[in-house]
Structure 1
Amino acid sequence: MKQVTFILIIVFIFSSFTVSKRVEALITKEIKTVFEVETFQKEIITIPFEINESLPIKITDSNFFKINDENNLLGYYYYGQAYGKADYFDFIVIFDKNLIVSKVKILVYREDHGGEVGSKRWLKQFRGKTANQELTYQKDIAAISGATISAKSMTNEVNKLLKTINILYNKQLL
């Protein structure tokens, strides 16, 4: 019985760090739409351990990628999670090759309330933001009635991502 429990725990841990096929398909669709391409390659970005430890968002082999078409850099994307009132939700941020936000999209929202945070109209506020900007909820990013916690969380996660991108750019790792 202990072995079965141990195996189930290991399977759960490994499965929680992988992107499901459904989410991967959504990411692929968004990248193709943003960059108007049929095919692309994603390339893992490797960050030295000592730098990664100091970043606001840790870069792994499953959350931040370069997007290439043949030998041309199209941009980058980040796959992350933010916390709503009671559960996490998954999102992506797609950057152009100059590290300017092209699109933010909520991929999976797991709560009954606060889903307004996934509206295209609200998310397009992030478009055009750059790594040297700091966003303030209710000033730069509008509040959402009924989705306050999710909207604040999303704004905070994008802020941390922009700070991370800025650090990596300044260290010439992007």
Structure 2
Amino acid sequence: MNKNKFYFFIILLVSLVCFSFTMPDKIKKKVKKEISKVFEVKDFQLKLIKIEDSINNKLIKKIGADHLFKIEKNNEIIGYAYVDKAPSKTDEFDYLVLLDKDLIVAKTKVLVYREDYGGEIGSTRWLKQFIGKKATDNLKYREDIIAISGATISASSMTIAMNQFLQNLEILHNNNVL
């Protein structure tokens, strides 16, 4: 009986490891839709960018296995996509950052927001504040980024997440990953 529990545990663990590093189809569909709109392309490839542990350890916030992609059309890089989660009051939200080929933010989008309050951070108008930002920018909530009443935690969290990502961009660029 103990062997059966052991094997069940091993199978469960292997299943979790194998399936936890893939982007859910719902998120992937939203990402592809945004890429098509922003870069005005229909046919493109998303190619995963693998980051070596030695470089990932240098980052402000480690980048997961299925989070950073090159966007290519006809084997030419047209941009980059980064998908991650950031904390809200009691849960997390998924967001997307699209970069042009010069590593300048072309668009940010909240893909899935899981709270009853604070969803205003998903508004295009508020998210436009991040467009044009680059690795050398340091964003300050309530100074560079406008606060949102009722979404204080989420808006601050998105600003922190963007700062971390922008700092990571510089490290990745300096280490010839991007």
TM-score (normalizing by structure 1): 0.92
User: Are positions 1:55 and 2:73 aligned together?
Assistant: no
Compare 39-48 and 5-14 and name the one that shifted more.
5-14
Query: Which residue is equivalent to 1:98?
Result: 102
Compare 155-164 and 5-14 and name the one that shifted more.
5-14
Kindly provide the amino acid, as one letter, of the partner of residue 74 in structure 2. E
Which 4+ stretches in 1 moved above 6 angstroms?
A: none
Query: Which residue is equivalent to 1:126?
Result: 130
User: Are positions 1:29 and 2:33 aligned together?
Assistant: yes
1:171 to 168, 171, 175: 175
Change (3 A) 1:113 1:7: farther
Query: Which residue is equivalent to 2:89?
Result: 85
Compare 28-37 and 52-61 and name the one that shifted more.
52-61
User: Are positions 1:150 and 2:150 aligned together?
Assistant: no
Change (3 A) 1:112 1:11: farther
Which runs of no fewer than 5 residues in structure 2 stay unpaired? none
* 1:145 partner SS: coil
Kindly provide the amino acid, as one letter, of the partner of residue 67 in structure 1. I
The answer as to whether partners of 2:21 and 2:65 remain within 8 angstroms in 1 is no
Tell me how far 1:17 sits from its aligned partner. Answer: 3.1
**In structure 1, C-alpha distance between the alignment counterparts of 2:21 and 2:92, rounded to whole Å:** 13
**What does 1:5-24 align with in structure 2 at a 5 Å threshold?**
7=11, 11-12=15-16, 14-24=18-28
Change (3 A) 1:35 1:80: same
Tell me how far 1:19 sits from its aligned partner. Answer: 1.4
**In structure 2, C-alpha distance between the alignment counterparts of 1:16 and 1:48, rounded to whole Å:** 19
Change (3 A) 1:46 1:7: closer
* 2:29 partner SS: helix
Kindly provide the amino acid, as one letter, of the partner of residue 159 in structure 2. T
TM-score (normalizing by structure 2): 0.90
**In structure 2, C-alpha distance between the alignment counterparts of 1:140 and 1:91, rounded to whole Å:** 20
* 1:163 partner SS: helix
How many residues in Structure 1 have an aligned counterpart in Structure 2? 174
Tell me how far 1:40 sits from its aligned partner. Answer: 0.5
1:43 to 40, 43, 47: 47
* 2:99 partner SS: strand
